[in-house]
A = this chain, B = another copy of it.
């Protein structure tokens, strides 16, 4: 009698991603934060401008505001009839005169150009000015509303905020912004071989033990995505304890994330425990590194057991009531245990999932096409994500050891080459390169 597992068909990465995103209904919980503290968060309502920026025509230089027609030739001398600093309104310009003006100050009515002060000479202690360059109408004048027009949507619901977004929001007077609440993610560790750094010094490590590295980069990646991380430590190696721990975690978290222990044929307690509490699918994804991947869900006590909240409409513009909404399901994701596989599957699958949970409209990272400065002669039946780095010549170098156990490759690299299954690379070929700076943002 044979109990051999069959070799499962591989699932294309795009299909795995589509299935995950399909399950990643926006959590719908929002909160209001100071614009100062909103960097990296996902906006939960459109930001509409109630004013125009700048509010009026103003000078983009320190100099003199004039009517261009009053300066027909270089050397023209005009009386200086007023002085306008930023933040102060002038009076209408007396025809045939100039107004001393500073950067950002509103143009006086009747003036249509600014002469920068380097093109002037102040005379009589500033009572008059000689203009040494003939101005053209409109020069060094910033038009009212050239940055933002009244009623314009300057930031869209679902945008991930950056420093520039915060500046824009502040510029239209928004001191606070409504953003998606932080997803709550529980981080589980499994694996008898794992030891926490600090628990045992290197020289006393058992030969079969290794330090837990995945938990460190996974936590950092989660924090970069705006998540609140609940580190649940090592789950006791016992079925009932595992069920209890998962069940408790499912009440307080939107996602339980683990690495290791979910390959085909591995015996551990996470898999049956998740299945007892909800559902679990083991996928074999056609990607390298990162074949085994588990997705499941555990119903929250307050909700139906059988239905994940898929198909919910996107994050509403504003949630009724002050009490944040609760998701009806806690998602479960099991990453492969090999560090590089864990790192890469996080970036390509978990990252977009967590952004979508926050209602982000942009979950994909655009690839560049760059020149490979190496050969890759062995095709693989899986789509590969090769650790590579840009060199001084604008091409890409490949890390020498692409083993999924070599975490050094992810540290050395500044991007991943998205390399199609069954193909080779000859130096000079253009390849798809996904910068880590974008994936880590």
Q: Using a CB–CB distance below 8 Å, which chain A residues touch chain B? A: 1-7, 35-36, 39, 49-51, 53-56, 60, 62, 85-89, 102-106, 117-118, 120-123, 125-126, 142, 146-148, 154-155, 162-176, 191-194, 196-198, 200-203, 205-221, 223-224, 260, 263-267, 337-339, 343, 366, 368-370, 390, 394, 401, 403-408, 410-411, 435-438, 440-441
Q: Does B164 lie within 8 Å of A411, measured CB to CB?
A: yes
Residues of chain B with a CB closer than 8 A to A403's CB = 60, 142, 146-147
Q: Does B198 lie within 8 Å of A176, measured CB to CB?
A: yes
Give Cα A209–Cα B103 distance, bound, in whole angstroms.
13
Q: Which of B146, B170, B220 contacts A166 (CB 8 A)?
A: B220
Residues of chain B with a CB closer than 8 A to A105's CB = 193, 208
Q: Does A62 lie within 8 Å of B173, measured CB to CB?
A: no
Residues of chain B with a CB closer than 8 A to A50's CB = 202-203
Nearest CB in chain B: distance from A187 CB, A? 11
Give Cα A369–Cα B371 distance, bound, in whole angstroms.
11
The 4 closest A-B pairs by CB, nearest first: A175-B198, A87-B193, A87-B192, A167-B217
Nearest CB in chain B: distance from A377 CB, A? 18
Q: Does A205 lie within 8 Å of B437, measured CB to CB?
A: no
Residues of chain B with a CB closer than 8 A to A155's CB = 411
Q: Does A174 lie within 8 Å of B203, measured CB to CB?
A: no
Q: Does A197 lie within 8 Å of B211, measured CB to CB?
A: no
A264-B62, A435-B435 known; A411-B172 Cβ under 8 A = no
A103-B263, A211-B170 known; A404-B60 Cβ under 8 A = yes
Q: Does A5 lie within 8 Å of B167, measured CB to CB?
A: no
Give Cα A402–Cα B366 distance, bound, in whole angstroms.
24
Q: Which of B120, B208, B216, B441 contacts A36 (CB 8 A)?
A: B216
A-B contact pairs, 18 of them (CB 8 A): A4-B120, A4-B122, A49-B202, A86-B191, A87-B193, A87-B209, A147-B405, A154-B411, A162-B436, A164-B217, A166-B220, A167-B407, A171-B407, A366-B390, A368-B370, A368-B390, A435-B437, A441-B441
Residues of chain B with a CB closer than 8 A to A200's CB = 173
Q: Does A217 lie within 8 Å of B163, measured CB to CB?
A: yes
Residues of chain B with a CB closer than 8 A to A198's CB = 173, 175-176
Q: Does A171 lie within 8 Å of B338, measured CB to CB?
A: no
Nearest CB in chain B: distance from A195 CB, A? 8
Residues of chain B with a CB closer than 8 A to A126's CB = 3
Nearest CB in chain B: distance from A65 CB, A? 14
Q: Does B102 lie within 8 Å of A266, measured CB to CB?
A: yes
Using A2-B123, A117-B265, A162-B436 as known contacts, list a sample of 19 further A-B pairs with CB atoms less than 8 Å apart, ordered by residue number in A: A5-B118, A51-B205, A54-B405, A55-B210, A56-B207, A60-B405, A87-B191, A88-B192, A103-B337, A147-B403, A163-B224, A167-B339, A171-B213, A171-B407, A173-B197, A173-B200, A175-B196, A175-B198, A437-B438
Nearest CB in chain B: distance from A106 CB, A? 5
Q: Which of A154, A210, A219 has most chain B Cβ within 10 Å?
A: A210
A56-B208, A120-B4, A338-B60 known; A401-B202 Cβ under 8 A = no
Residues of chain B with a CB closer than 8 A to A436's CB = 162
Q: Does B163 lie within 8 Å of A175, measured CB to CB?
A: no
Q: Does A214 lie within 8 Å of B3, measured CB to CB?
A: no
Q: Which of A125, A194, A208, A436 has most chain B Cβ within 10 Å?
A: A208
Residues of chain B with a CB closer than 8 A to A5's CB = 117-118
Residues of chain B with a CB closer than 8 A to A121's CB = 2, 4
Residues of chain B with a CB closer than 8 A to A163's CB = 216-218, 220-221, 224, 343, 440
Give Cα A19–Cα B75 distance, bound, in whole angstroms.
38
Give the nearest-CB partner of A413 in chain B.
B164
